[in-house]
Amino acid sequence: MLYEKRFGPYFAEPVVAGLDENDKPYLATMDLIGATSSTEDFVVAGTCAGNLYGMCETLYKKDMGQEELFETLAQALLASVDRDALSGWGGVVHIITKEGIISRELKGRQD
């Protein structure tokens, strides 16, 4: 979505995550001009996407359990946003399963 109001455009990098009709994970993202990318393992977006991509490549393994996946996501997210001044002070991790969605809030450094 590109929208210009007064000073410049608003940019969005949406991430689409869920389960398909066979209960298999589906992940996709779009870049700032709308080009889509889907994958089988992980997608990243945002101002710290470069840092996140490197952390996810290092920490991600296939077929992780819910707790191991949450811990991996938390470590990757917090390590990445600590190195990017525009990213904020934490994040929210959503784990999507057949039974439902588990959401947990992460608190980052506040300095």
Question: Mind listing the pLDDT tens digit for each residue in 95-109?
Answer: 999 999 999 999 877
- Cα distances from 38 to residues 28, 47, 60, 75, in angstroms, run 4, 19, 17, 23
Identify whether the C-beta of residue 90 lies closer than 8 Å to the C-beta of residue 83: no
Tokens 């393994």 locate to 61
**What pLDDT shows up at residue 66?**
93
pTM given for the model: 0.77
Lowest mean pLDDT among 8-12, 62-66, 75-79, 106-110: 8-12
Average pLDDT over residues 52-78: 93
Using CA atoms, how far apart are residues 95 and 46, in angstroms rounded to an integer? 19
